[in-house]
Amino acid sequence: MNSDHARQIAQGLPPERRVIDVGGGGAPFWRADWVVDAIPFDAAGKLARDTHGGEPPRYRKETWVEVDLCDRTAWPFDDSQFDFAICSHLLEDVRDPIWICSELTRIAKAGYIEVPSRYVEQSLGVEHPRFAGYYHHRWLISVEEGELVFRHKPHLLHVTWDAIVADLGVSRRINPAHEITTLFWTETLHVRESLEFDERRVVDELIAFARSSRGIDDLVVSQNRTLVDRLRRARYFRRLAKGKR
């Protein structure tokens, strides 16, 4: 979760407001009173950077619920039990984000969504010189007129050059200002899956997004890496390009 957003949200929540972090087990939001995730409490915080900001967490082992978030069984919480729900860097990973969003709307009165931007997911060199975005992400997610829209991230994206937003190489990155897509919602979280089964139209949409994105002046910036780090990354990318780990 973006650290600046985490601080702003925490500062805006009075102490009595009940907060849940949905799927934040790798880096739980310290202000959350409850956490629901597929990983156990003992694994908390081991998958990503700390988001506590130096504050002691409010959640405890007793308020940590371990479930498969996508098994189409209602989560063990009452309707509108929580005043605010955080769902950060989860929806792009899971097999059924629409179900998760429906449960978010059921158990919480308002919330905050954060996912990687399509600029990231359609760029080479984020993790691999030949693949776009993050290898394990299933969805391209955007906010369109206040609605969260999910598009399947197709395998052909990686080999469709015109659909690539940027080739980042070893020394560049997507500007942090454009790395994430966010949405604050109240009462109802509007979501839909963009269903498209025609390959040509899927490709055309990917290409159209990439072309419009390349016109953003500050989309790509230099990586703040030492010379040694750049050399290590260059060597690593050369190995990946040859099919080696």
Query: What's the predicted TM-score (pTM) here?
Result: 0.91
Q: What is the pLDDT of residue 54?
A: 66
**Which residues does 189 contact at the CB level (< 8 Å), separation at least 6?**
101, 104, 105, 111, 113, 148, 183
User: Which is more confident, 154 or 227?
Assistant: 154
Beta pairing class for 84-88 and 64-66: unpaired
Q: What is the pLDDT of residue 242?
A: 77
Q: What is the pLDDT of residue 51?
A: 52
Q: What is the pLDDT of residue 237?
A: 85
Mean pLDDT over 108-113 rounds to 98
Beta bridge partners of 180: 116
Q: What is the pLDDT of residue 224?
A: 83
Q: What is the pLDDT of residue 207?
A: 98
User: Would the pLDDT of 234 be above 90?
Assistant: no
Q: What is the pLDDT of residue 45?
A: 76
Q: What is the pLDDT of residue 146?
A: 94
Mean pLDDT over 124-148 rounds to 95
User: Would the pLDDT of 22 be above 80?
Assistant: yes
Mean pLDDT over 82-110 rounds to 97
User: Would the pLDDT of 46 be above 70?
Assistant: no
Q: What is the pLDDT of residue 55?
A: 75
User: Would the pLDDT of 231 be above 90?
Assistant: no
Q: What is the pLDDT of residue 226?
A: 83
**Which residues does 90 contact at the CB level (< 8 Å), separation at least 6?**
22, 23, 24, 69, 100
Q: What is the pLDDT of residue 245?
A: 66
Burial of 169 (0-12, 13-18, 19+ CB in 10 A): middle
Q: What's the Rg (C-alpha) of the chain?
A: 19
Mean pLDDT, all residues of the chain: 93
Summarize pLDDT for 60-92 with one digit per residue, the tens: 999 999 999 999 999 999 999 999 999 999 999
123 with 10: CB under 8 angstroms? Answer: no
Q: What is the largest CA-CA distance in the chain?
A: 55
Q: What is the pLDDT of residue 229?
A: 84
User: Would the pLDDT of 153 be above 90?
Assistant: yes
